[in-house]
Amino acid sequence: MFYLNEFPDQEVHTNYSQKYKDYNIDKFLTCVYLLKTGSEALKAFESFLSKYNLSQAKFLTLMILFRSPEESLTPSEIARIMGVKKPTSTGVIDGLLKENYVTRELDETDRRKIKIKISSKGSDHLDKILPEYFKYINKIMDEFSGEECSDFKDLLFKVLLNTEKIGDSHHQSYGLR
């Protein structure tokens, strides 16, 4: 979450640009707006999903399994796809199991492995949610033309790649990855 509701005024930007040689107001504001927009979008999606008694993590887990409903994945595979640690995905999966949105089965080739599969109840729940979900996304993006949406997606992807590159080098320099 990004916790800033009031942005710096022009005087602050002027002071920063005089004090810090690498301060670039356009890049700073673009980054701040990106962070704030991401936080607001996340809150909005969490609110939307709560109407269906789902968290973002539960929804994304269901969506991962819904991609290939005949296949099953291990909790580790789900964690990797989501970009979370296995204990996090295990807690989410346990919640989905209690609601009968997923099933747990033993791997046919290695009985020590557990596989998770979306249940018919989970698929039906997503079939009910997804039409409204896609309408919701369209509503958020309505101000963009098709070309603007495509350009914006490309720009965001560049930021994502750069963020990952910087994050990897930062984590490597501190021995975090």
Mean pLDDT, rounded, for 56-78: 93
Query: How does residue 3 score in pLDDT terms, banded at 50, 70 and 90?
Result: confident
Strand runs (DSSP E) across 10-169, as ranges?
Answer: 102-106, 114-118
Question: What percentage of residues in the chain have a pLDDT greater than 90?
Answer: 75
Structural domains of the chain sorted by starting position, each given as residue range(s) with its CATH number in brackets: 1-50 (no CATH), 51-169 (1.10.10.10)
For residue range 88-122, list pLDDT tens digits in order: 999 999 999 999 999 999 878 887 889 999 999 99
Query: How does residue 168 score in pLDDT terms, banded at 50, 70 and 90?
Result: low
- Entry pTM: 0.82
- Comparing 63-67, 68-72, 135-139, the range with the smallest average pLDDT is 68-72
Query: How does residue 169 score in pLDDT terms, banded at 50, 70 and 90?
Result: low
Model pLDDT, residue 82 = 92
Dist. CA 72–CA 93, nearest whole Å: 13
DSSP 99: T
Side-chain half-sphere of 175: how many Cα atoms within 13 Å?
0
Pick from 130, 133, 131, 63: nearest CA to 102: 63
Question: What percentage of residues in the chain have a pLDDT greater than 70?
Answer: 94
